């Protein structure tokens, strides 16, 4: 059973059929091969385009939300297959968008909230471009960001706490907008932060004590926020790399903390037209790199610390319109780099020290 004896006729038929099939296969083979090759190439091509399109589509979606009459984004066009060639867009060697830099152009619209496909984005500069609306919470999802500059726009609302998730962020510039509310209490989570500029907004509340965790911070400018209040926290002394501290034209009150003497690299302290009171701490003399001390238009009291004379690099000393008493210390004459001094409108007594003649 199942065994068929040799039959020349039948075998010949099968042989003929097999030959016919082989001939047919040989005839079709080039077409099948061409089709397979075409599909393979197209598959590779479209996979590549999908990768580019995903980034480009995100950029084009944001472009559609803008109301600019400018032609600055004309190159942002689907006819250009690579978004890496678009104006203001920079990519790495793998074709991944790493930087978007648009400055001083008229965009008129919101910040992007759909840049999740730009997984390699490190720098996002959109300054002086007429942006409006809130800072999107989605910004906290762009985990590779190290540089953000949204300065000089018309942004409003609060600084989203989600921004504090960006552990690689080194520079955050949000100055010259209409931002309100608090400086996020979790700002200390930005452990890589070196530059924080928030000046000329409408921020309120106090400076978070978590700022103590920003050990790499070099620039902190939050002046021009008239409702920024409370005392300068003692924790500011932990920011030992601080070079510029700017809190002018705010409602910062209370005494300057003694921890300010830990700021060995500080070059500029600008807390003028504020509500400071109490004495200038003697430990200010520890700030050996200090060049500019602007504390005018406050309610500072006590005498001018003699240790200011230890500040050999001091160039500007503006203490006018306070409640300072006593005499001008002779030690100020040691500040041989001093070129601008204004101590007027205080309660000082005595004469100008002779040592000033050597300045």
User: Which pLDDT tens digit goes with each residue over 240-276?
Assistant: 999 999 999 999 999 999 999 999 999 999 999 999 9
**Tens digit of pLDDT for each residue in 112-160?**
999 999 999 999 999 999 999 999 999 999 999 999 999 999 999 999 9
Q: In the predicted model, what is the mean pLDDT of the chain?
A: 89
User: Is the pLDDT score of 336 beyond 60?
Assistant: yes
Q: What is the pLDDT of residue 69?
A: 85
pLDDT for 173 beyond 60? yes
Six-digit token pair at 251? 């409602």
Give residue-wise pLDDT tens across range 71-104: 999 999 988 879 999 999 999 999 999 999 999 9
For the chain, percent of residues with pLDDT exceeding 90: 80
Using one digit for the tens of pLDDT, what is the confidence trace for 18-74?
444 344 343 344 454 444 444 444 444 444 444 456 999 999 999 999 998 889 999
pLDDT tier for residue 356 given thresholds of 50, 70 and 90: confident
Domains detected in the chain: 43-358 (3.80.10.10)
């Amino acid at each position: 059973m199942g065994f068929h004896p040799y039959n020349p006729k039948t075998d010949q038929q099968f042989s003929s059929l097999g030959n016919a099939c082989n001939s047919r296969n040989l005839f079709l083979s080039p077409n099948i091969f061409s089709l397979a090759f075409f599909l393979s190439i197209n598959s590779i091509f479209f996979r590549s385009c999908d990768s580019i399109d995903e980034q480009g589509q995100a950029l084009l979606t944001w472009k559609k939300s803008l109301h600019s009459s400018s032609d600055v984004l004309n190159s942002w066009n689907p006819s250009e297959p690579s978004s890496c060639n678009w104006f203001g867009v920079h990519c790495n060697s793998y074709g991944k968008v790493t930087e978007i830099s648009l400055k001083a152009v008229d965009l008129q619209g919101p910040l992007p909230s759909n840049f999740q496909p730009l997984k390699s984005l490190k720098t996002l500069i959109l300054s002086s471009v007429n942006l409006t609306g809130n800072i999107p919470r989605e910004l906290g999802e762009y985990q590779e960001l190290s540089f953000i500059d949204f300065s000089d726009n018309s942004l409003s609302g609060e600084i989203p706490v989600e921004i504090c998730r960006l552990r690689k962020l080194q520079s955050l510039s949000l100055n010259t907008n209409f931002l309100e509310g608090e400086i996020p209490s979790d700002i200390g989570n930005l452990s890589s932060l070196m530059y924080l500029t928030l000046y000329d907004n409408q921020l309120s509340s106090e400076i978070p004590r978590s700022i103590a965790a920003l050990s790499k911070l070099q620039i902190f400018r939050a002046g021009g926020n008239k409702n920024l209040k409370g005392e300068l926290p003692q924790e500011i002394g932990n920011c030992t790399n601080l070079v510029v501290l700017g809190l002018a034209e705010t409602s910062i009150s209370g005494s300057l903390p003694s921890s300010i003497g830990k700021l060995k690299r500080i070059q500029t302290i600008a807390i003028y037209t504020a509500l400071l009171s109490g004495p200038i701490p003697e430990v200010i003399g520890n700030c050996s790199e200090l060049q500019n001390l602007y504390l005018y238009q406050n309610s500072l009291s006590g005498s001018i610390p003699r240790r200011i004379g230890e500040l050999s690099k001091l160039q500007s000393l503006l203490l006018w319109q306070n409640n300072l008493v006593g005499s001008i210390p002779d030690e100020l004459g040691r500040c041989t780099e001093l070129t601008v001094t204004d101590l007027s409108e205080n309660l000082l007594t005595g004469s100008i020290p002779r040592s000033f003649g050597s300045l």
